[in-house]
Structures are given as C-alpha cells and as structure tokens.
Structure 1
Amino acid sequence: MDGAILFVEEIGEAPYRIDGLLAQLRLAGILERLSGLVFGQFTDTDPRPPTRPLGDVLAEYAAFVNGPVARGLVYGHVDEKSALPVGVRARLEVTDDDTYLLPHPEVRLAVFASGSGTTFAALADAAERGTLGPVEVALLVSDRDDAGALGRADERGIATARSRPEAGDHAARLLRLLDAHDIDFVALAGYLRKVPPPVVDAFREQMLNTHPALLPAFGGQGMYGRRVHEAALDYGVRWTGATIHLVEEDYDTGPVVLQQPVPVRPDDPPQTLAERVKQIEHRLYPEAVRLFAEGRVTVDGRRVMISGTRGA
C-alpha cells in the first residue's frame, strides 16, 4: 500500500497498540509508506503503561510519513482546545515529556508575472479549490503597471506589488518585499525579467518557472511566448511540450521537475500550438507546486526525485 493514510481513531487499549499495529502492517508488507496519520485524542486514563513511550513510536514513524494529516493528538492531556479539526494538516512535535500534533503552517507563495496572468490564475484557482496542497497564494509581483495579472489578483483579494528592475538596489528591495509578506516559495509565471542572483540564492530550490517547450530545447535568453513556438515550428520538431523547472541564475537552466510532451501538427500555426501547450502548463504547474509544498521533492544535482509516485 503506497501513499496510504492510516486512520488510528480511538484505539480501545490506549496508545501502545499503535506500535504493534504499525509493526504488523510493515512486517506483512502491506504498508510501504504513509502519506498521513489520522489520530483521535488519547488520554492517560488507562493504568497500564505503554511498552514504549508514544513519543518514541511516532518519532520513528515521522520519517516514514509524508506530513501527518490529523484530527489531533494529545497524549496525557484531556484538552479539547488542543485537538485539531478534521482534515487540518499537522506537524509532529515530540518532546521529552509529551507528543503533540500542531497545525502545519501553509506555504506562502508569491507569483511573479509580467503579462495577462492566465498562469497566475491557474495557480490561484488551484489554491482556492484545495488542489494546490497546503499553499496560500499570498502575493502577486509584476514589473509592469499594465499587467493583466494585477487585475486578476485584485479580483481574488490577493496582495500585489510592483518590482522596479530599473531602480537601484533591486535585489535588496525584492528580498525585503518577500520577507515582509512572509513568503516561503516563489513561482515565476510569465515573468520576463531576470530574477537577481541574490533573490535566486535566497530561494534556492524554492523557486519554480514554467517554459513552453521541452527544455533544454528552445530555451535561453529571449525565448519566451510566441518566439518559442515559432522556433519549434521552424525547426520541424514533431513534439514540443511544457517544462516546470527550478530557477537558477541563468535563463532556463535549472533542474527539470515535471515535463509533458505535446504533439506538433503539420498545419499548426504558432497560436494554436501555444494554446495546447498552455493547457498543459496550467495543469503541470499547480502539480509541481503541490509536490514541493507536501515535501515530496528531493534535488540531487540536476536530478529531481519525487516520492510517493511510482517510477520516481
């Protein structure tokens, strides 16, 4: 069972049965990885001591679980205020005296956009639907006062800010802006400016970009939008596609996170090809952000590994 959620709900004989239950599942080969643990509330009313402290049990399985999702665990305390609502993402905190599930903070996402904002809207709408994972789209940054993305952000009640690359001390001002909004992660969505190296460094492996081709093909400085599709058609490729990649100091050179090919039709003009690729980008980008927010991505040099999926 890969990627299951184990429900441990009011086990009758108190916490020490969890240890035996999890061990039996693993030894039987039924359980390979947990994507969450759902607990009820345990108390210390049972006089029989656990075979091992509950904290030890759960600490062992914390590395085995991709982000506990829990109603709440309070061992040794009968305090309803400490329990979490059903479905709240939680983090496990083990102390010498006790074990708690605490609310897991959402990832606060800033999106950078220069254009109409359709990719920004795809991310914001995914967050609204709950399919972006534990992510709040907290800020829209644009280098253009007339960018359509600004209006889309205003419609959704999302804070906006202008970047001014032509002004001095651009990197420091961007870093102060992101810090003021408590930003954890950045997504470039049709942002046509080069992100200053200090900002890239501050968000190393926490900044993504989308590109409308299968990198490393048709990438680099000046390759964006219609230009990319014209280059693909001029070259005569049979397949193009969409790439979500990590951001490095140079254009379109970061490790690839997700890619999906799109066939090129013999009679394709750039605009129809662009529309089909954009549809894929709008699906892949929220998926990539969700994978990072759920802690399922590991980067090793140029290789990006995704846990919890077959073949990763």
Structure 2
Amino acid sequence: MGNDNTLVKVENLTKTFRIKRNVFLKAVDNTSFEIKSGETLGLVGESGCGKSTLGRCILRLIEPTGGTVEYNGTSMQALKGEELRQMRKKMQMVFQNPYSSLNPRMTIMDSVKAPLDVFNTGSKEEREQRVKEIMSVVGLDSKYLYRYPHEFSGGQRQRIVIARALISNPGFIVCDEPVSALDVSIRSQILNLMRDIQNEFGVAYLFISHDLSVVKHISNRIAVMYLGQIVEISDVDRLYEEPLHPYTQALISAIPIPDVGSKRERIILTGDIPSPIFPPTGCRFHNRCRYATERCRKECPTLKDCGIGHQAACHLYD
C-alpha cells in the first residue's frame, strides 16, 4: 500500500462501543485501505456491518478507538482545536436522509452558506455569490434560494446537501447512502451529478451503500465489509467478474440480471447472521461459508494481495 497519489490513508482503524458494563460492540475492527485523489472507493455490505461508523470515524465525527487516518499526509488524530476545525473544509459528508440533515427553519441560502459563515470566508456578498454558483453546479435555479427544505422534492434536497458539502472546496467527501432514500428514477440523476462534480473538481469519494448495482455505476474500486471488517478490495470490473471472497460471491450472485434469458447461479447463504456483539471466533464469515474449514473457525484471515491490486481476507488464497 502507498503511493504519491494517496489522499486518504486508513490504517488499523477500530471503533468499539460500550453497550453495557462488560459488553462491548466492535463496530469497526482493524480496518485498513487507501483512497487516491479524484477516485471513488465504494464501500458495500449488509446493514449494520459498520459502514457508516467507519465513514464517521474517518472524519472524526466519531472518535476512533484505535488506528490512524491520514489526509494528504496529515494525521487526523494529531489535530486538535483550530487545526481540526480548518481540516473540516477539506473533508465533508453527504448524509443518507437529505431532509433530516437540513435545518427546516433555515432557507436554502442560509443552509448552503453556513460553512462559509462558520469560517468567515469573504464578504457577505461574496458568500452569497458563491452559493449561487454552487447551486448552478448541482442543477438548481438560484430563484429557489429563499425557500425552505419542505418545499423541495427528495432529489432536490439531496442536490442542496451536495451543494453544501461542495461549498468549501473539499478534496474528499464521505457519501453515506446518498441515494437510498430517493426514488429509483431520481437515483441515476444524482449519481451522474456526482460523477460530473468529480470530473470538474477532482474530489475523491468514499461512497457507502448496500446496493452493489449503484456502487458499480460510480466507483473505481470497491471494498466489501462484513461484521466490521474489510474482506475484499478490488478494481470494480475485476470484483464483478472474478469475486474472490465467498461473501462477495454471494452478494454478486444476488444482483438481478436485466436480460430475461440470462440466469446467474444464485448462492444462498445458510446459517444465522452472527451478532456483532458476540462475533464468531476465527473468520467471522465461517458459519455461513460453504468452504469453511477447521482453520477458518480458529484463525482470522487478514487481507492478502491476490494480484493486480485485488485483496481478499480468506484462507482459500494462502
């Protein structure tokens, strides 16, 4: 791992929540990966596997329990006070529900302008002009600026939230299920908008989703997460054509094929989904895996390079 083009570097990131006095939930467990400048890393996995927690830990919206995050060579853990506040300009987030992430009592002008107000960027007139420019980028007319969130559709609200994330010229945005709350007809519009923005501004994305078909549409590489751990990372085409980890194979087999005459062998996972509070010993997927051996039950596999940047955490590839 590691090259001059690396923008975000995550190493051994861990987040543990205390549930009860002696009961702990390890939502993110010893996770490592990199995101290059201007690329999109898709992060997929079942609901509750720790995707959103990981995204929030990277931005320090939640404090990690262990591990490190570097942005452009700067350690996020080393930043405090004003230094951390200034870093917020460079790392932003688009949340899943655009309505709940907008203040219903603030006009769109005030909501989108808020990051510029916080950092006292330019004069009031310059800030308002910047809002009008960024609204044009996301495809909304500036005549809507003095309306309130409830006056917009879900797709329009998500455009507003994207505009607010872009207003401070960040280099990296965590997108937490940004299209899952939208109608199917609107999703492709927002995904295309995000790709256009990436091409224009060179921003990098961590795109979190449980929908593999959505992730394929926008990502350069994909990381697959299971019970708090990354089990596979690969270039998007290679992952879909040749998934290595048994969990990834099952996920890909469940994607519908639009051709009526085509069929894909469906891999049905057996066994119960383990509790993240009491995860299985060894490989966390072993009780649902058709290839599981005694070693899988005892020894937790680590991510290994299986060629051409394709990594998998599975004893099959030792």
Which TM-score band applies after superposition, normalised by the shorter structure?
under 0.3
> What's the TM-score, normalizing by structure 1?
0.25
Q: Which has the higher contact order (CA 8 A, sep 6+)?
A: 2
Larger gyration radius, structure 1 or structure 2: 1
